[in-house]
Copies of this chain bind each other. A is one copy, B any other.
């Protein structure tokens, strides 16, 4: 690998963190490289920059496309494929959130739904099912909210983030407005402890 030092630091870091983020070292490095690059790169260039095999790049790209974190491009007069990482950093966050939900949360939600349909066969299973229902309801609440927030445009999203702990204050205001206007609830859960 022969890269400018700042870029190399970043790329190596992404390689090491890749594991914790659910991708392998190569995939992390490829994404880092594309993210920093000011132009699309082809597989050969990535191979050279990272010192990995051509086939490894091919598999890594397939994985990154699965994550919707890279796009294919074609440069005129060049029959090779080029890759680039989308620029809008807010969109990247949305994509990551969505893909991680799909991989890390949805399967569990689905399993929980199945298991909650079953009849518990005794007090032990009854208690277990209670806990599973708590988990299920909370996950639904969280993912539903995340889905809603994801749809906000960049400016609104930034507004929300800047607010920070201020949401608390805002919620109090909302409470008062709701009493007057009679706003409707998103679901029927109660307001304390149990959801």
Contact A158 B103 (CB under 8 A): no
Which of A67-75, A76-84, A137-145 forms part of the interface with chain B? A137-145
Least distance between A150 CB and chain B CB atoms (Å): 9
**18 pairs of residues in contact across A and B, judged by CB atoms under 8 Å:** A4-B121, A6-B120, A6-B121, A6-B125, A7-B125, A9-B114, A10-B128, A20-B103, A36-B128, A36-B131, A36-B132, A89-B195, A148-B164, A148-B165, A154-B193, A159-B191, A163-B171, A167-B167
CB distance from A45 to the nearest CB of B (A): 13
Assess the A127–B36 pair: CB atoms within 8 A.
Answer: yes
Copies of this chain present in the complex amount to 2
Q: Are A151 and B171 in contact (CB under 8 A)?
A: no
Interface residues on A, range: 35 or more
The interface residues of chain B lying within 8 Å CB-to-CB of A151 are: 165
A161 within 8 A of partner (CB): yes
Interface flags for A180-195 (1: CB within 8 Å of B; 0: not) read 0000011101011101
Q: Does A17 contact B (CB under 8 A)?
A: yes
User: Complex formed: what's the CA distance from A189 to B93 in Å?
Assistant: 18
For A177, the chain B residues whose CB sits under 8 A away are 173
